[in-house]
Amino acid sequence: MTEQSIIQLRDLKKAFGAIEVLKGINLDVPNNHCAVVMGGSGSGKSVLIKNIVGLLKPDSGSISVLGKRVDLIQGDELDQLRLSIGYLFQSGALFDSMTVSENLMFFLERHLNLSPKEANDKIMQTLEWVELPEKLNDYPADLSGGQKKRIALARAVIMEPKILLYDEPTTGLDPVSVRMVSDLIVRLQAERGITSVAITHDLLCAEIIADSVHFLQDGQFVASGSLEEISRFDHPAIATFFGNETSHAS
Amino acid sequence: MDEVGSKSFILTSITGLAIGVVLAMQSRGTLIRFGAEAVLPNMLALSVVKEIGPVFTSLVLAGRLGAGIGAEIGSMRVTEQIDALEVAALKPFHFLVITRVLACIIMFPILTLWTDTIALTGGYMESYLASGMDYRIFIATAFESLRFSDILVDTLKTGFFGFIVGIVSCYLGFTVRGGTREVGQAAMRAVVGSSLLILLSDVIIVRISMLLFGDAGS
Ligand SMILES: Nc1ncnc2c1ncn2[C@@H]1O[C@H](COP(=O)(O)OP(=O)(O)OP(=O)(O)O)[C@@H](O)[C@H]1O
Ligand SMILES: [Mg+2]
């Protein structure tokens, strides 16, 4: 693999039964870079990043993350690698039987040897960072969509991962929240040197966070480049995508 | 554990009371016809401890816990909470499945003993009201025909039923794909599947225990 790639996918293929979802994906994400994946609903974007973290195993091809072959390792070795990866789920995936602080504590106390005071300080610090310290003792069911996303983001970063995978971090949010979450993502990259792959439909979000954009269609990247380049790319699916989406974003 | 235990406690109490009272009422008429009313306590004890108590308790618990566990784990699956555990290297299988299965294995026999006790108490109350039977006679006759191995085997087999309910419901919850509708279906299948497996494995266990310990009547 190339020295500088933190995440490297080679000819990644994944099918569910007869449905071939990914038909040969290649991707290189250098250090401190944010690669944005765009594409229509059901095109396999979530399947793609689930492969990166080993939630799904590819049928063929290779996946390297921080020099480790995710497609080959398992058990404790995979778990060890996962500690360096934060994952923001499309639905937030907060544990709904726990309060916000318990959600954050749950990860901390199982992996880091912190004193209760250190752990609490860290939780407060992370909640202040997403500007929701007052939600400490609320249950996820009592949060708005945007607040859930921000708490989920807090949970994804509390272990201080080197890599973050974002599955639609801003979908369903109002423009103010979109900007807020996108700004947090940019700050993570600038302040902590995080490398990330982000899935988004959202042009405003892509514009704020993307270092490169990759357009997924029929199981392959049909175009890669800057958002600017992609939007002018001559491909019917991309034209439809941008044609429909621009009016949403503005 | 608490979830498995405390609310199921009330449920099994009601089940036990109903079993005991109804069984005593139904059997009395028949036994009187054959002039064998005196063996009512034996009969009650045998049928409650050996079969009706364990199976009824397990089926009632399969309904309550099967649906509960199936729906809970199923909704954690569709809302990606299980993926979130896995990505955080928190071993969802250990965390969610083993604890629940263990709780079922431990709680089923305990609740079965409780149901048996309540059922026999119910049977005695019925006997007292119908014929003023003395409780010392009831207890002495009831335990006359019960062997310790019967109580042991037939109570402990519910641990296996608990295992079935735990494993089946966790498995069906874990493997849900889709949304709320599929979660509902998984809960329903957990109840139906574990109830059927309980009845089926009961036949097998009874057969095996007869081979090992002989028939209760002999
Ligand atoms: N575990 C699975 N088993 C079977 N099929 C699956 C599984 N996960 C995803 N799929 C299928 O793979 C395809 C791609 O799904 P995916 O969730 O990656 O889409 P997506 O691009 O993320 O869409 P959206 O924007 O709506 O989230 C879909 O047809 C989906 O039904
Ligand atoms: Mg998706």
* pTM to 2 decimal places: 0.87
Q: DSSP assignment, residue B39?
A: G
Q: pLDDT digit string (tens) for B105-138?
A: 999 999 999 999 999 999 999 999 988 888 898 8
CA of B158 to the centre of ligand 1 (A): 41
Calculate the CA B13 to chain-centre distance.
Answer: 12
For the beta sheet containing A85-88, the strands, ordered from the edge strand earlier in sequence to the opposite edge, are A85-88, A163-167, A195-199, A34-39, A212-217, A220-225
Which ranges of chain B have pLDDT less than 70? 1-5, 216-218
The whole domain housing B109 covers 6-213
Higher-pLDDT residue of A240, A28 = A28
- Facing A82 at nearest CB: one of B80, B81, B89: B89
Per-residue model confidence (pLDDT) at position A38: 94
> What CA–CA distance (Å, rounded) separates B94 from B60?
26
**B180 lies in some domain:** yes
ipTM, interface predicted TM-score of the complex: 0.89
- Whole-number pLDDT of residue A111: 83
At position A179, the amino acid (one-letter code) is: R
CB atoms within 10 A of CB B129: 12
pLDDT at B3: 61
Give, for ligand 1, the residue of A13, A14, A21 to mutate: max count of ligand atoms closer than 8 Å to Cβ.
Answer: A21
Can you list the positions of beta strands (E) in chain A? 5-16, 19-30, 34-39, 60-65, 68-69, 85-88, 163-167, 195-199, 212-217, 220-225
Ligand nearest to the CA of A47: 1
Matching fold, domains A1-28+40-82 and A87-214+228-250? yes
Cα A20 to Cα A48, A115, B177, distances in angstroms: 12, 48, 18
Write down the domain spans for chain A.
Answer: 1-28+40-82, 87-214+228-250
Sign of the CA dihedral with B50 first, then B55, B60, and B66 last: positive
Tally of domains in chain B: 1
- Cβ of residue A85 closer than 8 Å to a chain B Cβ: yes
Q: How far apart are CA A142 and CA A137, in angstroms?
A: 10
User: Phi/psi of residue A35, each to 5°?
Assistant: -95, 125
pLDDT in tens, A73-86: 999 999 999 999 99
Is B153 within the bounds of a domain? Answer: yes
CA B141 to chain centre: 25
Alpha-carbon dihedral B180, A47, A106, B89, rounded to 10 degrees: 130
pLDDT of residue B2: 59
Beta bridge partners of A27: A9
Q: Look at residue B162 in the predicted model and tell me its pLDDT.
A: 97
Q: Out of A44-53, A169-178, B67-76, B193-202, pick the least confident.
A: A169-178
pLDDT value, residue A28: 95
Do B186 and B178 touch, CB atoms closer than 8 A? Answer: no
Percent of chain A with pLDDT strictly greater than 90? 74
CATH homologous superfamily of domain A1-28+40-82?
A: P-loop containing nucleotide triphosphate hydrolases (3.40.50.300)
Structural domain includes residue B205? yes
**What is the spatial order of strands in the sheet that A60-65 belongs to?**
A19-30, A5-16, A60-65, A68-69
Please tell me which residue of chain B has the smallest CA distance to A79.
B89
What integer pLDDT is reported at residue B4 of this predicted model?
A: 60
CATH T-level topology, domain A87-214+228-250: Rossmann fold (3.40.50)
Strand partners, A71: none
Write down the pLDDT at residue B209: 85
- The enclosing H or E element of B202 equals helix B180-213
Confidence of residue A243 (pLDDT cuts 50, 70, 90): confident
Compute, in angstroms, the gap from residue A45 CA to the centroid of ligand 2: 6
For residue A165, pLDDT beyond 70: yes
pLDDT score at B213: 79
Residue of A nearest to B81 (CA): A93
Share of chain A above pLDDT 70, in %: 96
Asked, for residue B1, whether it belongs to a domain, the answer is no
A187 in reach of chain B (CB within 8 A): no
Residue the block writes with tokens 């071939």: A20
